[in-house]
Amino acid sequence: MKIKVCGMRQQGNIEELVALKPNFIGFIFFEKSPRFAGEELNEEYIKAIPNDIKKVGVFVNANPGYILDTVKKYDLQYAQLHGNEMPDMCRSLRQKGVNIIKAFSIDESFNFAMLNNYKSFCDLFLFDTKGDQPGGNGKTFDWNLLKKYDNEKPFFLSGGIGPDNLEEVIQLSKSMPIYGIDVNSKYETEPGIKDISKLTALFASVRVKEEEEAEA
């Protein structure tokens, strides 16, 4: 199970996270977010992050030109579209060589059938909790709703994942195509600043489970 840590923006904090070797590191390029990376990122450092850590730019209903410019500026491997972007936009960006993670906000009314319109143009899906903000609300949705997911496309699970429910996610991954977990607010000391000690424990927990299963 891959680990994606999102909402990074402070240089020292990013360096500490990179040392833990997450699978994905996310930077938010949405001005209304309290985790907006803005111009804070050290461009040369971000571009030099080792290739085995995939860099993700998170965008919300952004202009395609802005997305492409940002991907190029920081040498991002993925664009995560976290708004109401249509399948055509995913297709257009993907045709220009950008890997796409399409995020969807889940509640009881979500229609999983509409994912069929997106699956050809996305590399991964991400399921987050429907809330006041496009993401980073720190709340889980009813994971039983994922039983309605009948697609083969792997996905990130996001929304309120923390130390108290991590074991539940690991168990869930045995019966569903959960590609990875996306963690953010539950591992912060303040918006955009991650608690490295908590993340260290998370990484150890997930990786120990993987080793145990590999040996079994």
HSE at residue 46, side-chain half, CA atoms within 13 A, is 25
The pLDDT, as a whole number, for residue 174 is 86
The one-character DSSP state at 2 is E
User: pLDDT higher for 209 or 36?
Assistant: 36
pLDDT of residue 183 exceeding 70, the answer is yes
Q: How many helices (H) and strands (E) does the chain have?
A: 6, 10
Rounded Cα–Cα distance for residues 23 and 29 (Å): 20
3-state secondary structure of 143: helix
The pLDDT, as a whole number, for residue 80 is 98
The one-character DSSP state at 36 is B
User: pLDDT higher for 182 or 215?
Assistant: 182
The pLDDT, as a whole number, for residue 207 is 81
Rounded Cα–Cα distance for residues 16 and 6 (Å): 14
pLDDT of residue 81 exceeding 80, the answer is yes
| Average of per-residue pLDDT across 72-85 | 97
pLDDT of residue 137 exceeding 80, the answer is no
pLDDT of residue 216 exceeding 70, the answer is no
HSE at residue 119, side-chain half, CA atoms within 13 A, is 12
Q: What percentage of the chain exceeds 70 in pLDDT?
A: 93
The DSSP annotation for 47-112 comes to: HTS-TTSEEEEEESS--HHHHHHHHHHHT-SEEEE-SS--HHHHHHHHHTT-EEEEEEEE-TT--G
Q: Which two structure tokens, joined as six digits, stand for 18?
A: 């990179």
* CATH superfamily placement of domain 2-215: Aldolase class I (3.20.20.70)
Kindly report the backbone phi and psi dihedral angles of residue 43, in degrees, each rounded to the nearest multiple of 5, phi listed first. Answer: -55, -45
Q: Considering only the C-alpha atoms of the chain, give the largest distance between any 2 of them, rounded to a whole number of Å.
A: 48
Mean pLDDT of the chain: 92
pLDDT of residue 212 exceeding 70, the answer is no
- Residue 12 makes CB contacts below 8 A (sequence gap 6+) with none
Rounded Cα–Cα distance for residues 30 and 37 (Å): 8
The pLDDT, as a whole number, for residue 133 is 62
| Average of per-residue pLDDT across 85-105 | 97
* Whether the Cβ atoms of residue 187 and residue 202 lie closer than 8 Å to each other: yes
3-state secondary structure of 206: helix
The pTM of the full predicted model, rounded to 2 decimals, is 0.93
Query: What does the pLDDT look like over 47-57, one tens digit per residue?
Result: 999 999 999 99
The pLDDT, as a whole number, for residue 134 is 55
Q: Where are the domains of the chain?
A: 2-215
Least confident range from 15-19, 34-38, 91-95: namely 34-38
**What is the band of 208 on the pLDDT scale with cuts at 50, 70, 90?**
confident
| Average of per-residue pLDDT across 94-104 | 97
